[in-house]
Amino acid sequence: MTTYTVTRRRSVGVWWLALSAAAIAVYAPLPYLTGSLEQIASDGTGLAEHYLKQPDWVRVAMYLHIVFSGVALLLSPAQLSARIRARAPGVHRVVGRITLTAMVVGGLGGLALAPYGYEGVPGALGFGLLAILSVVFPLLGLRAVRAGRIAEHRRWMIRAFALIYAGVTLRVWMIVLTAAGLEFDEGYPLMPFGCWVPNLLVAELVLRRRG
């Protein structure tokens, strides 16, 4: 395989990550920002009807999770760009602070949601662990960069992005499972682990190849 082919494939992969992340970052929060939970739940599908029955503070946590995780998902691909880091390091630092804050707040919102999820105990375990790691990884990245360990910082933030990208993976899996004939109630219980564990494994593989 030529260097050109490898570079081209890598470029296509980066663009796919960026565009898919941006699409979901805008698409997922939009119904919750433009309509009430009651309106979203009126069609009787998805998760809105379930969370409509939860305490007010759980719904607040849901909105925090949706909005802040969306912000983190939208901004993260640019933060991983070596070109942007080299050309505009100041912008990288400012946007990095925003992204890291959004990751942590979104993760805390997800952690509060996990015990009240639609999927019961498997959801509490899977999404709960995802939420914890979504807080821990960015904070480890922050600690590393403050100590001047830039390479370690980048590794932690790649892992953190892999977790945030679960928002995309979840929806891709649901499309695949629906196309395979599964109803929402049948497919969604697979998501508490299925939406993020593969992402993290791929991230670790990439990091190992880089050395």
Per residue in 144-178, pLDDT (tens digit) is 999 999 999 999 999 999 999 999 999 999 899 88
Please state the pTM of the whole predicted model.
0.88
Structurally, how many domains does the chain consist of?
A: 1
11, with CB counted inside 10 A (0-12, 13-18, 19+), is exposed
The residue with greater pLDDT, 9 or 69, is 69
Per residue in 193-208, pLDDT (tens digit) is 999 999 999 999 999 9
Enclosing domain of residue 22? 3-210
What's the pLDDT score for residue 190? 86
What's the pLDDT score for residue 19? 93
Residues 6 or more apart whose CB falls under 8 angstroms from that of 9 comprise: none
What CATH number should be reported for the domain holding residue 92?
A: 1.20.120
Residue 170 CA: distances (Å) to CA of 48, 95, 199: 16, 26, 11
Which amino acid is located at 117 in the chain? G
- And the tokens for 146? 């403050």
Residue of 160, 168, 174 whose CA lies nearest to 118: 174
Instruction: Determine the average pLDDT of the residues in 93-104.
Output: 96
Q: Where are the alpha helices (DSSP H) in 80-149?
A: 82-87, 89-113, 121-146
